[in-house]
Amino acid sequence: MSKLKLIIHREFIAKVRNKSFIMMTFLSPLLLVGVGALVFFLMKKNKEVEKRIVYVDNSGLFSKEDFKDTEIVYYEDFTSFGIEETKKKVENGDYYGALIIPKKDSLELLAKSIEFYSKESPGMSVINSLESKIERKLRNEKLNYFGIDIDKINASKIQSNIKMVNFSGEESSKLINGLKVGVGAIAGYMLMMFVMIYGTSVMRSVIEEKTSRIVEIIVSSVKPFQLMLGKIIGNASAGLLQFFIWGVLLFVIFAAASSFLGIDMIGMQTSQLPAEQLEAAKQAAGVDKFQLIIQELLRLPLLKMFVLFIFYFLGGYLLYSSLFAAIGAAVDNETDTQQFMLPIMGPLILGVYVGFATVINDPHGPIPVLFSHIPLTSPIVMLMRVPFGVSWYELALSMSLLVVTFVFMVWLAAKIYRVGILMYGKKPTYKDLYKWLKYKG
């Protein structure tokens, strides 16, 4: 045990003293927030670009009331210029595009004959907005043709907001369900990135020691299994430290931004109002939408999610790092690792895709439940399901299977590691790995 502690300590110190580790630990949260703010700023600026759209209405159905100006989109009636002259003006001017509405015998034919001309491909939001305006106008015209009072139809519209409550009395809302999807997706994606980054770090460390022949000296006094386990735990400790620092820094940035925006964090955290009351309060008091999102976010089981994130991070990392270490021991350089990476990376990527494809639609469906129990995908899929509420029975089963599989994989990887770590000059194959697994001693 003393030798294992020394190896863990050595790997941990070597990792945290690395300049790139220190820089990324403190710069990553700032870069993350900065990139997010930049993307938001650029999206906002992109939407603020003014667009001038002209239209030629030969059908005589549309008017300026049907094409009302918005903050960034302005409409001009060029019907008097005709189609060809309008096209020339748009092509030679600074207009965004021209909407051509021909004259047809029926509304159905008209709906399929409208064209939009522009110098470049128009944005989908602009086209969707135009289609919505045209469909609404043609629909109203058809209702008038049938002698149906449009005002009565508009007055009869009623919006429904279904109240979501489970049998324990816990209420939910569409907003908080959306936040659950977002939080789960971020947690699953972060775990995948951690496993990939620190797993490959273990693999590179093993390859470096093997190629420099330092490992030959180390294994003379330390068992290969101890060396492999020490590397895995040492890197995991460094990863957890980095994750903790990131969490603290993000919390400080978040708290500073909240204070700057005037959001009462304590009041929101202690608030247990149902979603409907929060919505009513928002409308009555004019609460900012961002504040409402934060308020709903703090209603999630954050402590439970944090604890489970740490467990599944460690479980997933230890499971995959043992395989990465075995690969590092089997090869002489990083180039030779490519043939063994797909079987390892495949389950990780599969877990992310399964999570996004199934958890969003039905977090308690058979597919996400199955993959949240398979150890190779459970760290990602289960984390995506946790915000929606998972029974302790399911969690206990998933966690137990992950621990058992980790122990088995470490034992399996150690058999490859102890042979491969002293093999040089040969590019290993899957057949060689199988032979190494059968060696006794």
Percent of the chain topping pLDDT 90: 11
Question: Which range, 160-169, 191-200, 261-270, has the best average confidence (pLDDT)?
Answer: 191-200
pLDDT confidence band for 86 (50 / 70 / 90): very high
pLDDT of residue 272: 41
Question: Which range, 14-28, 38-52, 217-231, has the best average confidence (pLDDT)?
Answer: 14-28
Q: Is 222's pLDDT higher than 80?
A: no
Encode pLDDT of 132-165 as tens digits: 999 999 998 888 888 888 888 888 888 776 766 6
**Mean pLDDT across the stretch 239-263?**
74
Distance CA 308, CA 358 (A): 20
pLDDT confidence band for 265 (50 / 70 / 90): very low
Question: Which range, 81-85, 176-180, 334-338, 406-410, has the best average confidence (pLDDT)?
Answer: 81-85
**Mean pLDDT across the stretch 348-354?**
86
- Beta-carbon count within 10 A of 27 CB: 12
Contacts of 436 (CB under 8 A, 6+ apart): 330, 415, 416, 419, 420
pLDDT of residue 408: 86
Encode pLDDT of 380-394 as tens digits: 888 888 888 788 889
> Any bridge partners for residue 2, and if so which?
none
Distance CA 183, CA 162 (A): 23
Residues in the chain: 441
pLDDT confidence band for 3 (50 / 70 / 90): confident
pLDDT of residue 85: 92
Distance CA 110, CA 59 (A): 8
Q: Is 278's pLDDT higher than 50?
A: no
Distance CA 107, CA 54 (A): 21
Q: Is 216's pLDDT higher than 70?
A: no
Of 71, 75, 66, 125, which is closest to residue 96 (Cα–Cα)? 75
**Mean pLDDT across the stretch 233-239?**
82
DSSP letter, residue 17: T
Average pLDDT of the chain is 79
pLDDT of residue 151: 82
Asked if 227 and 321 count as a contact pair (C-beta separation under 8 A), the reply is no
pLDDT of residue 292: 60
CA 245 to chain centre: 21
pLDDT confidence band for 274 (50 / 70 / 90): very low
Encode pLDDT of 49-75 as tens digits: 788 999 999 998 998 888 988 878 889
Cβ burial of 123 (10 Å; 0-12, 13-18, 19+) is: middle
Q: Is 275's pLDDT higher than 50?
A: no
DSSP 328-372: HHH-SSGGGGHHHHHHHHHHHHHHHHHIIIIITT-TTSHHHHHHT
Name the more confident of 135 and 27: 135
Distance CA 316, CA 199 (A): 10
> Between the CA of residue 308 and those of 185, 221, 353, 411, what are the distances in Å?
14, 37, 20, 25
Name the more confident of 1 and 64: 64
